[in-house]
A and B are shown apart, each in its own frame.
Chain A
């Protein structure tokens, strides 16, 4: 066996500065690839996570017959003894928090103005409800509050309500009739998402159950996991039969789509970076092929075959690639870890109805995507190097020797 790498190493050493520069180009390309991937993943992860925590949770455990479009509180659609079910789910190792929620439809009336709302009964103590704890004024709900209600800032604006004001709330009850009662605005919350805040009002779970006639029932157990990628595993661990379990993927198909789209976008950016980087490498190798025309002729004259010449140049390319990519991967990883802790400040990006963006983006790079990028960069470099390598291998020995004389 020929030791192609020994030869390749020495050949790279002939133009040390050029080799180092092209290795560095590859390193920068790789670092950039990883950093951009970390940036995108970080942004998507936080947008996704914020949205999931606010809206759907990672999992929702529902009664088998529950229909989310109806918002009915008829008992046959609900989960019985929801606290017990929630407590049981919380014993699962992957589960961070599980809390019952009751959803009912209602109408808020203040003097002549009426607005349709969704009434959500929550356990005020649960940390799953943290996204609603950001208050513009007043206080959060207490579990034993029987007259208090928490409303969103846009709704308060709309109806001219302040903390301490009274409103009339009408609810569709479990037996198909309606009930109405006066509540006092305890506090005004904002999640930053208008579409959400203007349509949802909160009551303590016990009050919501009593008011709507739901008894000891809830519409769902809202579940947050330690790692949302465990959703399918946890869903499988929850006994079926009387329950149906929906994962965040099923509950957020639009968001998942956006995420996929952003991945596709990332792929395009990756290809551009790889294209530029690889051009540098190919250029270096082409220069090297032209400079060594005579040498290739000599090797060919003494019996080196085309594929051995290809192997020689590919060995050079892979040495450059291993060196450059290793340095680049380290740099990219370091940057991603650093900005994953410190974050990159972007100011207020504004808010959209379906996704929440925070004003600081924390980069996030999974080992999987780091490895994918490293392999991709390497494979790209080698494939691109085939062009100069084949060119070298196709030189006719006579012409190669001639060019020297």
Chain B
């Protein structure tokens, strides 16, 4: 089944008179259960592509279909609604809300989805356990290491059981050990729950986990191959 399907997508950034073609006619289909790695040099368009798949942004031209729904022309709020149930994000920087504890950060998407208190409690504890963060549930982000923060971010991305998780260089700010740990967790979740993962990276230690490797260059897909970590 197709989780996301992009057809002939371009994205042109315009700053003043300067135009940057970040994506230059990209077509890609992400299937259910994939663990896909987007690779390519810095500036090749990986982040832009993730943002389009994630409905955080809209293409200059082309078609984006997410979970069977055409996203062209959706309002900001409609896009927010679509993201809320379907897509989870893990960012390069440890994107936790600094005023909330690990528990509350994971709980936030559940609150936004209107789950009741009992459902939330159960789900949050389950998720924190799956990323090995149960004992730090009541710590604020500034009391956690980078790796711990990123694990909480993964738990948060998973909270609403999204079909698709998008991770933009999730290990870039982590040391080897923590990077491997986060990748192991994501891989395990991919196996256990069938959640689809797409992550942008140029970290070879990450690429080895991928079941599919898509290579970008100058806004174009130049290579699409099976990875080592075939699932």
Is A398 in contact with chain B by the CB < 8 A criterion? Answer: yes
Q: Is A301 a contact of B54 with CB atoms below 8 Å?
A: yes
- Total count of chain B residues near the partner, CB < 8 A: 29
Contacts of A308 in B (CB 8 A): 112
CA distance A259 to B54 in the complex (A): 64
Q: Looking at the complex, which one of B57, B76, B93, B112 makes contact with A302 (CB distance below 8 Å)?
A: B112
* Interface membership of A87, Cβ < 8 A: no
A contact residues around B89 at 8 Å (CB): 301-302
Q: Is B97 an interface residue (CB 8 A)?
A: yes
Interface: B109 (CB within 8 A):
yes
Stretch of B77-85, B205-213, B220-228 contacting A (4+ beta carbons < 8 Å): B77-85
> How far is B84's CA from A308's CA once the two chains are assembled, in angstroms?
13
User: With a CB–CB cut-off of 8 A, which chain B residues contact A405?
Assistant: 92-93
| Bound-complex Cα distance A295 to B96 (A) | 8
Q: How far is the CA of A294 from the CA of B94 in the complex (A)?
A: 11
A10, A295, A301: the one contacting B83 at CB < 8 Å is A301
Task: Determine whether A322 belongs to the interface, using a CB cutoff of 8 Å to chain B.
Answer: no
Report B-chain residues with C-beta under 8 Å of the C-beta of A10: 99-100
- The verdict on A384 contacting chain B, using a C-beta distance below 8 Å, is no
Question: A303 near B80 (CB under 8 angstroms)?
Answer: yes
Asked if residues B54 and A14 are in contact (CB atoms below 8 Å), the reply is no
Give Cα A249–Cα B85 distance, bound, in whole angstroms: 66
| Residue interface mask A46-64, B partner, CB < 8 A = 1 | 0000000000000000000
In the complex, which of the residues A7, A14, A303, A401 contacts B91, with contact meaning CB atoms closer than 8 Å?
Answer: A401
Docked Cα-Cα span, A405 to B80, in Å, equals: 22
B113 at the interface (CB under 8 A from A): yes
Within 8 Å of chain A (Cβ to Cβ): is B151?
no
Give the contacting residue for A298; candidates B97, B111, B160; CB below 8 A: B97
The verdict on A260 contacting chain B, using a C-beta distance below 8 Å, is no
- B97 near A299 with CB under 8 A, answer yes
- Interchain CB contact under 8 A, B95 and A304: no
Indicate whether B98 reaches chain A with its CB closer than 8 angstroms: yes
Does B99 lie within 8 Å of A11, measured CB to CB?
yes
| A303 and B84 within 8 A (CB) | yes
Task: Determine whether the beta carbon of A306 is less than 8 Å from that of B76.
Answer: yes
B92 proximity list for chain A (CB < 8 A): 405
A396 at the A/B interface (Cβ < 8 Å)?
A: yes
Say whether A300 faces chain B, with CB atoms less than 8 Å apart.
yes
Tell whether, in the assembled complex, residue A295 and residue B80 are in contact, meaning their CB atoms are under 8 Å apart.
no
Within 8 A of A (CB), among B150-196: 156, 160
> A14–B112 contact, CB under 8 A?
no
| Closest CB in chain B relative to A218 CB, distance in Å | 77
A382-405 contacts to B, CB under 8 A, are 394, 396-398, 401, 404-405
Closest to B99 in A: A10
Closest B residue to A3 using CB positions: B111
A295-B93 in contact (CB<8A): no
Q: How many Å lie between the Cα of A154 and that of B191 in the bound state?
A: 106
Q: Is A237 on the interface with B (CB-CB < 8 A)?
A: no
User: B29: shortest Cβ distance to chain A, in Å?
Assistant: 23
Q: Does B26 contact A (CB under 8 A)?
A: no
CB distance from B166 to the nearest CB of A (A): 9
In the bound assembly, the distance between CA atoms of A363 and B76 in angstroms comes to: 53
Report A-chain residues with C-beta under 8 Å of the C-beta of B100: 7, 10
For chain B residues 77-126, which have a beta carbon within 8 Å of chain A? 77, 80-81, 83-85, 88-89, 91-93, 95-100, 108-109, 111-113
When distances are taken between beta carbons in the complex, the residues of chain B under 8 Å from A306 are 76-77, 80
A301 and B112 form a contact (CB under 8 A): no
- Give, as a whole number of angstroms, the nearest-CB distance from B124 to chain A: 14
Instruction: Look across to chain A and name the residue whose beta carbon is closest to the beta carbon of B169.
Output: A405
B56 at interface by CB-CB < 8 Å: yes
**A134 interface residue per 8 A CB criterion:** no
Residues of the A chain whose Cβ atoms lie less than 8 Å from the Cβ of B156: 302
| Cβ-closest chain A residue relative to B112 | A303
Q: Is A127 an interface residue (CB 8 A)?
A: no
From A14, A298, A305, B95 is in contact (CB under 8 Å) with: A298
How long is the Cα–Cα vector from A401 to B91 in the complex, in angstroms?
A: 9
Indicate if B51 sits at the interface (CB-CB under 8 A).
Answer: yes
Residues of B within 8 A of A (CB): 51, 54, 56-57, 76-77, 80-81, 83-85, 88-89, 91-93, 95-100, 108-109, 111-113, 156, 160
* Beyond A298-B95, A398-B56, 17 extra complex contacts between A and B, CB < 8 Å: A7-B100, A11-B99, A294-B93, A298-B97, A301-B54, A301-B56, A301-B83, A302-B83, A303-B85, A304-B80, A304-B112, A308-B112, A394-B76, A397-B56, A401-B95, A404-B93, A405-B93
Closest 3 interchain pairs by CB?
A303-B84, A10-B99, A398-B57
5 contacts between A and B (CB under 8 A): A294-B93, A298-B96, A304-B112, A308-B112, A398-B56
